[in-house]
Amino acid sequence: GNSVTQMEGPVTLSEEAFLTINCTYTATGYPSLFWYVQYPGEGLQLLLKATKADDKGSNKGFEATYRKETTSFHLEKGSVQVSDSAVYFCALRPDSSYKLIFGSGTRLLVRP
């Protein structure tokens, strides 16, 4: 079946540190891959996406590359800010499906 596995949090970093949040997936065919972010008290918002192998999604300094050979879509940012503190969800959408399948989420806390 289709599934997403994310690294467990919380991840605690100092401001300006490098961030990696690991995400791997299991899916048949060629799913689309997404990272969503949830700030405290809010709904989820799309951060970035990639729709085919080797695509790189990027937004607000965050990047993730669709790696089909390793079935991964790791989220990276070169220098985090306090305002990046949030919960990050990796998700996939399989071929011919309305369902968006989420990982369990990784909480990021950035300290000044």
| Min CB(11)–another protein separation in Å | 15
Q: Are 19 and 63 in contact (CB under 8 A)?
A: no
| Min CB(41)–another protein separation in Å | 7
Query: Which runs of E-coded beta strand occur in the chain?
Result: 3-6, 11-14, 19-21, 23-26, 32-38, 44-50, 56-59, 62-65, 75-77, 86-93, 101-102, 106-111
Binding site for another protein (CB under 8 A): 4, 31-32, 34, 36, 41-46, 49, 51, 89, 93-100, 102-105
Q: Choose between 18 and 39: whose C-beta lies nearer to another protein.
A: 39
CA distance 111 to 96: 42
Q: Choose between 41 and 112: whose C-beta lies nearer to another protein.
A: 41
| Min CB(83)–another protein separation in Å | 19
Q: Choose between 81 and 104: whose C-beta lies nearer to another protein.
A: 104
CA 83 to chain centre: 17
Cα 62–104–29 angle (5° rounding)?
Answer: 75
| Min CB(76)–another protein separation in Å | 20
Q: Choose between 59 and 79: whose C-beta lies nearer to another protein.
A: 59
